[in-house]
Amino acid sequence: MCTYYEVPNREQLVLHFADVPGDEWRDKMSPLYRGPFMRAQNKGRELVVGQWGMIPPHSKTHIPTSKEGKRLSTVNARREGMAKSWTYGGPWRKGQRCIIPAQLYVEPYWGTGKHIPWQFSRADGEPWGLAGLWSEWADPATGEVLASYTMITQNCDDTPVLNLMHRLDPKRPPNMQDKRTVVPLEQSDWDIWLHGAADQAETLIRIPLLERLLHRPLDSTIEMQLPNPQQEAT
């Protein structure tokens, strides 16, 4: 489950994604912060700003809540159940797919018995385009329409390096931990993700090539060693 990432600078956003919107956003993103995401605009693309954490239908507040009023975590959508989800199902069926610009994202490593944040960036230095869904919600009190979005996650139990992230569940066998990772999209696939049919989009939900990953502790003073993705891929 990804709960922190960093947005590329404005120059990178214009160069790789679309024109920068006028709204303000956070550079270092945590749940419920406002960040930029790219969605389809007619046959093209546009960058807009919305809340990271999708607001479910009929939620009484912009803080995501269930029908019973219980607070929800909606920054990540599990790809296995999103099509039937009360929160994500509508946007998925309507084709409201988006791409989230990220210079890096962070996952928790627990190999030493404590939480150590590890950052993942592209080996080529380019920003990530992470797969997501977006929606709009009207505030019942004011009528203001707010955009929100979520990152899609996928299982990575069998993927070296990625399956070392997150705390082990002692109640599950090693091969059924349900470790999760985000869905990076190559730039050549962006138009298919934004404009293609659902079955076309489904084929793009896949594990990134490990040789394209750089990983290290977010705190550079921590010296640790994880398996080298290039060695693992050979």
Instruction: Give pLDDT tens digits for 159-169.
Output: 998 998 998 88
pLDDT in tens, 1-15: 789 999 999 999 999
pLDDT in tens, 110-120: 878 888 999 99
Task: Report pLDDT for 65.
Answer: 92
Task: Report pLDDT for 219.
Answer: 67
225 pLDDT more than 50: no
User: Among 27-31, 157-161, 197-201, 221-225, which stretch is predicted with the lowest mean pLDDT?
Assistant: 221-225
Task: Report pLDDT for 220.
Answer: 55
Q: Establish how many alpha carbons lie within 13 A of residue 46's alpha carbon, considering only the half-sphere containing its beta carbon.
A: 11
The residue type of 160 is P
Question: How large is the average pLDDT for residues 167-184?
Answer: 88
230 pLDDT more than 70: no
CA distances from 185 to 52, 102, 122, 168, 192 (A): 19, 11, 12, 27, 10
Question: How large is the average pLDDT for residues 20-38?
Answer: 96
Q: Set out the domains of the chain in order of their start, with CATH numbers.
A: 5-233 (3.90.1680.10)
- Residues above pLDDT 70, as percent of the chain: 93
Query: What DSSP string runs through the chain?
Result: ----EEPPPHHHHHHHT-PPPSS---SEE-TT-EEEEEEEETTEEEEEEEEESPPPTT-SSSS-B-TTS-B---SEEETTTGGG-TTTHHHHHTT-EEEEEESEEEEEE-TTSS-EEEEEEETTSPPEEEEEEEEEEE-TTT--EEEEEEEEEEE-TTSTTGGGBS---TTS-GGG---EEE-B--GGGHHHHHHS-HHHHHTT--PPPGGGEEEEESSTT-------HHHHH-
Place 226 in a pLDDT band, splitting at 50, 70 and 90: very low
Task: Report pLDDT for 222.
Answer: 47
